[in-house]
Amino acid sequence: MKCNIPIEKLMDYFYGELENEELRDFENHLKTCAECKEELERLEIPSKALQKWEMPESRMNVVFMTEKESFLDRIKQYVPSFEWLRVKPVMKFGYGLAAIFLILSVTNFQFSYNSETGDFTLATSLFSSSGDAQPVEQISNDVLTQQILESQNRVLDMVTQVLSEREQNQNEEFTNALYEWAKNIENERAKELQDFGQQVISVIDPLAQDLNKTKQNVNELIKTADLKKQQ
Amino acid sequence: METDKVIEDRTLIEGYLEGDTNSFNRLAWKWQDKLYRFSYRYLMNEDDAKEAVQMALIKVYKNLKKLNDPDRFSSWIFQIQVNICKDMLKHPNRKRFVSINREQNNEDGRPISNMERFADEQDLDHDAHRSNIEQIVKNTLSQIPEEQRVVIIMKEYQGLKFKEIAEILECPINTVKSRMYYGLQQMHKILTKLNISREVLFNEM
Ligand SMILES: [Zn+2]
């Protein structure tokens, strides 16, 4: 531009950020400067175009919960003894759980749990899917506050409910894992006992044969001795 | 910056720091819409935008204790959101949150890309003319250098003051204004090439 008005001033005016004296001065300048006027008209084109891109209606809602006691923590309490016993299936189960995001969806909302970081998030909508029922300006601030607090409490109730259900699921999973583990131990013990039994037999068998032989030998010795006596 | 100060940010931050998780939820609910709108304009995709907002809020949740001045909260939370969005554009193949009820995969099992999603949305749109303009605007905006584009989005869609944008981006206010100016200039050039004139835009309503 040949005109010496800085572009910063032009931007301030274009977005209504000039006040009082500055605004009056610039408006006076515009009356005589065709260049600035033309420039402002040009800027209206991209600005207007940008407003043609509408926002989608979708909304989101994230709820944060601090978990009381997570399933993973409980598993971790048992991990040292699991390691000592080298029960693989349960360990695998624990590792698998540590690496995944747990995401469950319940009708209108979904939550995700990252057991690696312990992040737990829940997404739902506070609003009906058809969008806002009423423009915000038409409701008094008190009513709005009340409404927002009420809907927030409803969401929190829902979250608590979902969490307790999830807790129950976790308990079930945990019980199943323990059951599996116990079954494995039992199987391993049974196998060990069997092995032990076979080993015992393999030791006892020759021993029994030896004993028999000894017995026979002794019997023969006794017989011989008896015969000698009679003679 | 705020028109909907139902409960002050400061009050909610203090509540959270005293151990009330629900204060944080109320804070998140106050901000998530603004953050979502910004992220959607920046990433041009609803699912990515939602994920970006979740990530930003988790970061805020974890780091709020370290924020010394609660009055800086509004620029701080925006800063976090801008950085996460930038990161997401840099790493398009990152790990994603997967949602069961909105799983979007192709026949061969790979996730649908943004461009494919764009195409689908276009097919579904009944108002072909409007969506055409919308598409042109998106394409034009995506050609603007990132640092100018951020300013354009914050100004045109979030309605932030230049001073507020400067605080978020931590740069001089005049830099913000000149980025805005050159960004609009650039857009004007592209739009003119595409024959999007004053008349087209103003008569089309
Ligand atoms: Zn001038």
For B143-147, what is the mean pLDDT? 95
B121 and B199 co-located in one domain: yes
Nearest CB to A7; choose among B32, B58, B178: B178
Cβ separation B197–A141 shorter than 8 A: no
Interface test with B, best of A37, A48, A111, A154 (most B CBs within 10 A): A48
In a domain, B97, yes or no: no
Of residues A26, A173, A25, the one with CA closest to residue A93: A173
For A14-33, what is the mean pLDDT? 95
Q: What pLDDT is recorded for position B204?
A: 57
| Helix-helix angle B162-169:B73-90, to 10 degrees | 60
Band of the pLDDT at B7, cuts 50, 70, 90?
confident
pLDDT surpassing 70 at residue B12: yes
Sequence letter at residue A138: Q
Band of the pLDDT at B30, cuts 50, 70, 90?
confident
B140 and B192 co-located in one domain: yes
Q: What pLDDT is recorded for position A128?
A: 32
Q: What pLDDT is recorded for position B74?
A: 94
pLDDT surpassing 50 at residue B42: yes
CA distance A45 to chain B (A): 6
pLDDT surpassing 60 at residue A188: yes
CA distance B108 to chain A (A): 23
For chain A, give the mean pLDDT.
Answer: 66
For B47-53, what is the mean pLDDT? 83
B75 and B135 co-located in one domain: no
Of residues A68, A164, B54, the one with CA closest to residue A156: A164
Cβ separation A61–B32 shorter than 8 A: yes
In a domain, B193, yes or no: yes
Strand order in the sheet with A62-64: A62-64, A119-123, A109-114, A101-106
Residue range A167-176, pLDDT digits in tens = 666 667 666 7
- Chain B residues whose CB is inside 8 A of the A50 CB are 137, 141, 152, 156-157, 187
Cβ separation A121–B54 shorter than 8 A: yes
Question: 3-state SS string over chain A?
Answer: CCCCCCHHHHHHHHCCCCCHHHHHHHHHHHHHCHHHHHHHHHHHHHHHHHCCCCCCCCCCCEEECCCCCCHHHHHHHHHHHHHHHCCHHHHHHHHHHHCCEEEEEECCEEEEEECCCCEEEEECCCCCCCCCCCCHHHCCHHHHHHHHHHHHHHHHHHHHHHHHHHHHHHHHHHHHHHHHHHHHHHHHHHHHHHHHHHHHHHHHHHHHHHHHHHHHHHHHHHHHHHHHHHC
Is A138 part of the contact surface with chain B (CB cutoff 8 Å)? no
In a domain, B96, yes or no: no
Q: Which residue has the higher pLDDT, A167 or A226?
A: A226
Q: What pLDDT is recorded for position B155?
A: 97
Phi, psi (rounded to 5 degrees) for B164: -65, -40
Domain of residue B32 covers 4-90
Band of the pLDDT at B46, cuts 50, 70, 90?
confident
Sequence letter at residue A78: Y
pLDDT surpassing 90 at residue B138: yes
- What CATH number did the domain enclosing B142 receive? 1.10.10.10
Q: For chain B, what is the domain count?
A: 2
In a domain, B106, yes or no: no
CA distance A142 to chain B (A): 9
B127 and B189 co-located in one domain: yes
Query: Which of A 193-212 lie inside 8 A of B, CB atoms?
Result: none
In a domain, B110, yes or no: no
What pTM was estimated for this model as a whole? 0.61
- Chain B residues whose CB is inside 8 A of the A44 CB are 198
| 3-class DSSP state of B101 | coil
For B69-75, what is the mean pLDDT? 91
B9 and B47 co-located in one domain: yes
Q: What pLDDT is recorded for position B73?
A: 95
In a domain, B104, yes or no: no
In a domain, B36, yes or no: yes
B185 and B133 co-located in one domain: yes
Q: How far apart are CA A109 and CA A126, in angstroms?
A: 10
For A186-204, what is the mean pLDDT? 75
